[in-house]
Each structure stands twice: as C-alpha cells, then as structure tokens.
Amino acid sequence: MHTVDLINSFKNKFPEITFEDAFKKVFKKLQEGLNNWVHTLKSYTIFHVALQDQDTSMKTAKELKALELSHYNKKLSKNELKQCIIIAEKNHVELSQLYSVYIKNLSLFITDYKLIDKLEEIQIRMIRSKGMDDVLGIYEIAKEMLQNISGNFYRRDEFCMKYRIYKNMLRLLYIDLIRLYRICYYCVIALSSKLKDMEFDQAKVFLQIYNSFEIVTEETKGYLMAIRDSDPLPATLNYFKVPTYSNT
C-alpha cells in the first residue's frame, strides 16, 4: 500500500480498513524494516502525520504510548567501515534514534495534556484554567521538546536536505515547532495574568520562566532564519514575539 493510502487509512477513508488495522500494518512495517533507514523513517513519518491530525491524534498517541519504539541501527561490515558511507550511516542511525524518541515524547505530551491538536482559543482557555504548577509543567515540557527540535534536528539540516524523505520529516517538525512555541507563549500569557496574585517566591519563578522564554524565542527565530533559505518552509518569523507583563 502506498504511503498516502496508509495515511488516509488512519482516517478511515477506506471502509474495509479500520484505524486499528492501519496502525498495526504501519507498526509491523516499522518492526520488519529496522535494518533499512528509509523504511524506518517512512513508518515514523506516517505516525507523525497521524499525531498531527485532529481526527487521529489522540488514538495514535495512545497506541504509541503503550509501545516500545525501536530505531534503525544497521551493523556495518568491515568493508562498509572502510568506505565513506560510514558518515552517512552514522547520521541515519542518530536521526532515526532521535526521531523515535521524539515521536514517543510527542505521544506522551498529547495524551497527558490534550493540548497540541486543539484550536488556539481552546488551548488558551485550557491553559488559563489550570493552576500555576500545572502551567509551569506544561511550559517546561513544551520548551524541552521545542529545543529538541531546534537543537537535534535542524542543526543537521544540511545533511537532511540531501534526501526528500528527511525534508518531509523537517516539514512535520516545523509544524510541531510552531505549535509547541504557541503553547509556551500561552503558558507565559497565563502566568502573567496570575502575577498580581502570586507570592514572592512564585513571582521569582515566573521571572525565570519569562527570561527563559525570551531565549527560546530568539533561538527559535534563529533556527527558522537559518533554514529559510535552504527549503521553502513557511517561516512566519513575525509570529515569534515575547509578551509583556501587561498582556492578560
């Protein structure tokens, strides 16, 4: 079955294939293709698309959360070790490992907080309704995932741009980059609205969060500017801004 058909089968576009059947098929392809970096990456990109789709996000995340995810890790022969392909293979192994861990963490984030696939106004309302500790927890996890995308994937963009399948992965990560940044932004907004009711120690924590968010904003803008010329991603740099304390 073609990749597009597999993606569509997650959304029940083929009456004869249920979501469960489609998921099992892709997971089986992943397990059977661990000796081939292309097959491994293709399976993870299908899961990634399903995690980003509002109709299939939660179901896919729950399934992936319960599974142990493996990655491409080909053992090179003595002959291959002497050839220049060792550098490419090292990148394939590292990227596959990073991507499998990222997909697992994304699944956990989706199931634990039920935020990333929601419309903006719903995200704002959900975050504002939570207590300070919960908002801080969401912010820290979203920030860590955001920095993971920027630091671990986009710093390899020169290598990734040589392969169409890696370009697809970067495009999916770009969508997450925007969504995770938006969640961090709304967390800072929510915390700033609680500032007048905070104790002194809580206000100090908020100031640390605010300062860290300024750094995250500049780092994210920097990575987007760096990749803007290498691939026509819709780098909407104007989106990245730091709220003032007066924003509520």
Which candidate, 87, 101, 75, places its Cα nearest to that of 153?
Answer: 101
Measure CA 149 to chain center. 7
What pLDDT is recorded for position 100? 95
Is the distance from CB of 173 to CB of 149 less than 8 angstroms? Answer: yes
Q: How far apart are CA 50 and CA 11, in angstroms?
A: 8
What residue has token string 């009711």? Answer: 197
221: pLDDT confidence band, cut at 50, 70 and 90?
Answer: confident
pLDDT by residue (tens digit) across 36-52? Answer: 899 999 999 999 999 99
Q: How is residue 125 written in tokens? A: 């309302």
Q: How far apart are CA 48 and CA 17, in angstroms?
A: 19
Mean local confidence (pLDDT), 203-215: 93
Q: How far apart are CA 19 and CA 4, in angstroms?
A: 14
The one-letter amino acid code at 113 reads Y
What pLDDT is recorded for position 120? 79
> What CATH code would you report for 115-248?
1.20.58.150
Phi-psi bin for 54: left (phi > 0), alpha (psi -120 to 50), beta?
alpha
Tell me the average pLDDT of the chain. 83
What pLDDT is recorded for position 242? 47
- pLDDT surpassing 70 at residue 132: yes
Neighbouring C-alpha atoms within 13 Å toward the C-beta of 76:
15
Is the distance from CB of 173 to CB of 153 less than 8 angstroms? Answer: yes
Q: How far apart are CA 6 and CA 23, in angstroms?
A: 9
For the chain, first and last CA: distance in Å?
Answer: 49
Measure CA 13 to chain center. 25
CB-based contacts of 54: which residues, under 8 Å, 6+ apart? 117
Tell whether the torsion through CA atoms of 230, 109, 53 and 5 is positive or negative.
positive
Is the distance from CB of 40 to CB of 27 less than 8 angstroms? Answer: no
Q: Domains of the chain: which residue ranges?
A: 115-248
Q: How far apart are CA 34 and CA 225, in angstroms?
A: 34
What pLDDT is recorded for position 239? 43
**How much of the chain exceeds pLDDT 90, in percent?**
41
pLDDT by residue (tens digit) across 100-117? Answer: 999 999 999 999 998 877
Mean local confidence (pLDDT), 172-186: 90
Q: Decide which of 103 and 80 is more confident.
A: 103
pLDDT by residue (tens digit) across 136-177? Answer: 999 999 999 998 988 888 778 788 888 888 988 988 998 898
Q: How far apart are CA 201 and CA 229, in angstroms?
A: 44
What pLDDT is recorded for position 13? 80
- pLDDT surpassing 50 at residue 2: yes
